[in-house]
Amino acid sequence: MKFQLHIFILFFSFFSCRGPVKIDKIEKNNDSIFSIALKEKITLKSFPENFFKSNGIDDWDSFERFQSSVEGMSKMNPKSLDVFLNGLSINIEKLEKSEFPEIFNKPQILSRLKLLRMQALKAKYFTEYYTKDSIKPALIELYSYYNSLIERMITVSKEDL
């Protein structure tokens, strides 16, 4: 009986071991996903010439840092998307805490800035836990919110004249 059990175990282990099993790992290939998401031509609104000087806000450093981080994102290397979004979130927080010039210290501007911060955090989340279709719309919406902020700032400055 023991002999038959040993043969059964030997027979079972011989046929159950078929060599190394390939396990397909699903790797996040961030580079290709981000590259696809960033291939579209991005058009950012810009201020008219001498906008800051004519409104007396040319020393608003926190806004200039914020603006340069958004413009830098549109020209960035896709591998560093999460780094740029992290920097953008920090610059938005600093801008919100900074002293706004009187002309732009209005609910229309502040609410658009909060929407922009929320969208930056949302896009940052999608860089970590993404689906193929989530990053591109999040970035497009982020740039859309930025454009609406710039348009509103231009409109507010014209209304105060």
Q: What is the pLDDT of residues 19-73, one digit of tens each?
A: 555 544 434 444 555 555 555 667 888 888 888 888 877 888 899 899 888 888 7
Contacts of 69 (CB under 8 A, 6+ apart): 84, 87, 88, 91
Averaged over 115-130, what is the pLDDT? 88
Report the predicted TM-score, pTM, of the whole model to 2 decimal places.
0.73
Distance between CA atoms of residues 85 and 119, nearest Å: 10
pLDDT of residue 27: 45
Neighbours of 135 (CB within 10 A): 21
- The band of 130, judged by pLDDT with boundaries at 50, 70 and 90, is confident
* Backbone dihedral angles phi then psi of residue 10, each to the nearest 5 degrees: -65, -45
| HSE (side-chain half, CA atoms, 13 Å) at 18 | 3
- pLDDT value of position 118: 94
Query: Phi, psi (5° rounding) for residue 38?
Result: -105, 10
Nearest alpha-carbon partner for 112 in 157, 151, 85, 158: 151
Instruction: Dig out the tokens for 115 from the structure.
Output: 């929407």
Query: What average pLDDT score do residues 82-89 get?
Result: 88
Question: What rounded mean pLDDT belongs to the chain?
Answer: 80
